[in-house]
Amino acid sequence: MKLVLLGPPGVGKGTLAVALKDQLGLNHISTGDILRAEMKANTPLGLEARKYVDGGELVPDELVTRLIESRISTPEIYSKGYLLDGFPRTQKQAEDLNEILNKLDQSIDRVICLDASIEIIIERLTGRRLCKNCGELYHVKNKPPQKEGVCDKCANSLYQRADDNEETIKTRMEVYTTSTRPIITYYEKQGKLKKVNADTEASVVLETTLSFLNE
C-alpha cells in the first residue's frame, strides 16, 4: 500500500504515521525527519535546508523531490509499501510525484488529510518534545515521559524543535494555507482523499484511518 499523509503542522501526521507503520508494516518516509537528520549532521543538504526549516519556510521543491525519488525508487521500499509524511507539500511536488510514480509504474492508493482546530494545533506544537537520540515523540500534557525531560525508550534527553515557537508556527500555518492546502483538491479530484478529524485522541484518529483504508 502507498499512502500520503496531509495536514497542517502539528496536527498529528507523525504520530499517526508511526502507528500506521506498526499496524501495516509500511516504510515511513518523513521529509521533515530526513531534513532534520541532514541538519544535525551538518551535511551540505542540511546546511541548505536550515535556511528554510528554522524559519518555517518550505525547502525548494527540487531538493525535497530528489530526496523522495531516491527512496521510493528503491525496491526494498516500494515492495513493502510506504507512507509519505509531509510530502507532497506544493502543487509542483504533487505533480512531480505523479510523474515519478508513472515512470515506476506505481501509484498512490490513498491520501489521508488530517485536520484540527488552530487552538489544538498550537497546543500540540508548543507542548511537543522529542528524544535527541531515537526521535520518539512526546507531549508535555498529552503524552508525557515517565521522567520529565527523559526518553522512556532510550533514557536520552528530550528537546524542543527550533521551529516549534509561536512566531515560526504562525509562518508554518500561513505556508500551509497558501502552498499545501490547494493540493487537497488535487487529490479529491482523483477520488483518493479522506478527511479525518484529528481533534480527538490519537487512538481514535488511528481507528478512523484504518477503517477508511479497509473500505
Which residues are identified as catalytic?
Answer: 13, 89, 128, 161, 172
**Cα dihedral 181, 48, 108, 92 sign:** positive
Of the candidates 203, 204, 16, 8, the one whose C-alpha atom is nearest the C-alpha of residue 115 is: 8
Angle at 60 between CA 49 and CA 117, to 5 degrees: 85
Q: Which residue is nearest to ligand AP5 (CB)?
A: 32
Closer residue to ligand AP5 (CB): 99 or 201: 201
* Residue 161 burial (CB count, 10 A): 15
- The grid cell for 30 is 518523513
Closer residue to ligand AP5 (CB): 6 or 110: 6
- In residues, how long is the chain? 215
In the complex, which residues of this chain contact ligand AP5 (CB under 6 A)?
7, 9-15, 31-32, 35, 52-53, 56-59, 64, 86-87, 89, 93, 124, 128, 137, 139, 142-143, 163, 172, 198, 201-202, 205
Residue 100 Cβ vs ligand AP5, minimum distance, rounded to whole Å: 14
Closer residue to ligand AP5 (CB): 37 or 213: 37
Residue 214 Cβ vs ligand AP5, minimum distance, rounded to whole Å: 20
